[in-house]
A and B are shown apart, each in its own frame.
Chain A
Amino acid sequence: MAILEVTNLSKVYGKGETAVHALDNVSFSVEAGQFVAIIGPSGSGKSTLLHMLGGVDRPTSGKVSVEGNDIYALDENSLAIFRRRHIGLIYQFYNLIPVLDVEENITLPQLLDGRKADRDHLGEIIATLGLGDRLGHLPNQLSGGQQQRVSIGRALINRPAMILADEPTGNLDSRNSGEILDLLLLSNKKYNQTLLLITHDESIALRANRIIAIEDGRVARDEVIRL
């Protein structure tokens, strides 16, 4: 069974003559554990698509099913809670909470649930990301690459069904980009984590299992490049 099913997804901004069809009847499905790269020129609708998948914004029409659940059948609050527990989001500009230290930023989704972090799982993630000696630091005391690693930790902590990453290496130099991508690939293999990653960098896209190319809000190409 697919972990993600998108059916006839459309998003229109504005009305009448000034209407912008950001997404036009997009349909595809993703199996658990797949690493999908979403590529396309600027303004093609990639980020809009990712926001629809993450439940961050509502579509105009169409359906998004995560683990068999239609996420837009939920109200705002329930959707926020669903997103917190089942979806991990990684952004280009990190979006860490500046007043919380590294450990608190990583465990934020669990803190919001009112739970205490599972120390073993947290320890494993911190070791994998190489953040062991930075746990008490604030985001402004970290380099770009380290901040992005904290965001990855935050995305992983709740064992989400899938991770959505919007140009996670867009703000990093090539060496850091390589390391971040390796970490994402590692969690993809180790936790069998489904990963959908937007990128405009072909070399990153070529390391995925599958490439979906979006143009003018439509799926232009959808090919599996490695099993």
Chain B
Amino acid sequence: MGKLLYNREVRRYLLALCTPALLCLPLCFWLNKAAGFLASALFLNALLVSLLFTRYRYRRLEQLSGQLAKICAGEYVMDIGQYAEGELSILSSEILKITGALSHQAQSLRRDKAFLADSLADISHQLKTPLTSVAMMCELLSDPHLTGQKRAEFLAGIRQGADRIQWLIASLLKLSRLDAGAVAFNIRPVALAALLEQAASPLRIPLEVKGQNLRLEGAEGIVLPCDKHWLAEAVGNLLKNCVEHTPAGGHILVSCAQNALYTSIAVSDDGPGFDKDDLPHLFERFYRGRNAAADGVGIGLALAKTIIQSQGGVITAQNRPGGGALFALKLYGGAVV
């Protein structure tokens, strides 16, 4: 009971309750002794009941505070509490939710750390290969008896290796910046047709070399909120994947549509399509499928997916019923970022 009095509001409450009583009760007695006793009894009853009730409520609050204190200390205690109607029970439910969220967060942080460690290992492994070949070429170049032709060959090899390392580092940097949420997207209304042009432009030459045909459908008049630069890169990576896996003379189609919920972009080709075993792993980093391009590293699709997801979009890959691969991209407008 003494502890209750620590609470300022309880003291005020007692004051507000007892003062009129102390003034009026003697008056009652003076008017009529029996009435006086009755009034006193009633008053004492009211006082006792309200104090007991208040003590019960403060005990419950104390319990909940104790639970919160444990959570602060990192001990995620999930007590079932009482499931009843009323404010105290609702408070208890909300605390349970917070506890759950915190403990899951702690778990996922641990997982992220492990993932990061693995990523670093992957990255250094990926860089080792071209670096080793560059080092080897340098060794070979130091031979004084090399022919001019051989020398030119090795120099080209070094140049290639250096390009590759640069490209790898640039891609990995992009991925890690996206992962860390360190990229500030510049979301603006963008004309889809212009975006697709931008995505396809680095592929004009490979398309011509392989005699492949790229068709864009349905993009006229569609405007969507997105970051043009990053999204063009993502779509470009999808197109690149199609160009690489479709034989010479093949066809690549990009068809678009827009509705109240989202804008959809479907990139498809008429090549051999995806290997069934590859499908669940397509967008994983450094995953190289059965028919991977010889110097593919498995970053293009992973990067595309990360970019798309960071802008509130969804991407899936599947085989078309008539043969060939299909990347289905859905970008939800600003409401869902």
Residues of A whose CB lies within 8 Å of any CB of B are 1, 3, 32-33, 67-70, 73-74, 77-79, 81-82, 85-86, 113-115, 127-128, 130, 159, 161, 179, 182, 185-186, 189-190, 192, 207, 225-227
Contacts and interface: CB of A to CB of B under 8 A. Distances in A.
A85 B83 CA distance: 10
Contacts of A114: 85
A130 B260 contact: yes
Nearest to A128: B336
Contacts of A227: 284
A81 B86 CA distance: 11
Interface stretch (B95-103, B130-138, B173-181): B95-103
A33 B103 CA distance: 13
Contact of B107 (A32, A115, A225): A32
B32 interface: no
B261 A77 contact: no
A31 B99 CA distance: 15
A226 B280 contact: yes
Interface of B: 76, 78, 80, 82-85, 89-90, 93, 96-97, 99-100, 103-104, 107-108, 260-262, 280-281, 284, 309, 312, 314, 316, 330, 332, 335-336
Contacts of B78: 67-69
14 contacts: A1-B76, A1-B107, A67-B78, A67-B96, A69-B96, A77-B83, A86-B96, A86-B97, A128-B335, A130-B260, A186-B332, A189-B309, A225-B280, A226-B281
Contacts of B96: 67, 69, 86
B93 A182 contact: no
B314 A192 contact: no
A185 to B, nearest CB: 7
Contact of A3 (B82, B100, B316): B100
A82 B83 contact: yes
B84 A77 contact: yes
A192 B80 CA distance: 22
B100 A207 contact: no
A74 B80 contact: yes
A115 B90 CA distance: 9
Report which residue of B85, B280, B336 has the largest number of chain A beta carbons within 10 angstroms of its beta carbon: B336
Given A74-B83, A161-B97, A207 B316 contact: yes
Contacts of A86: 93, 96-97
Nearest to A179: B261
Given A33-B104, A77-B83, A81-B89, 16 more contacts: A1-B104, A1-B107, A32-B100, A32-B104, A68-B78, A69-B80, A82-B83, A85-B90, A85-B93, A127-B335, A161-B97, A185-B314, A190-B336, A192-B104, A207-B316, A227-B284
The 3 closest A-B pairs by CB, nearest first: A78-B83, A32-B104, A127-B335
A192 B99 CA distance: 15
Contacts of B97: 86, 159, 161
A107 to B, nearest CB: 15
Contacts of B100: 3, 32, 67, 161
A68 B80 CA distance: 8
A207 B83 CA distance: 35
B316 A130 contact: no
Nearest to B90: A113
Contacts of A225: 280
Contacts of A113: 85, 90
Contacts of A69: 78, 80, 96
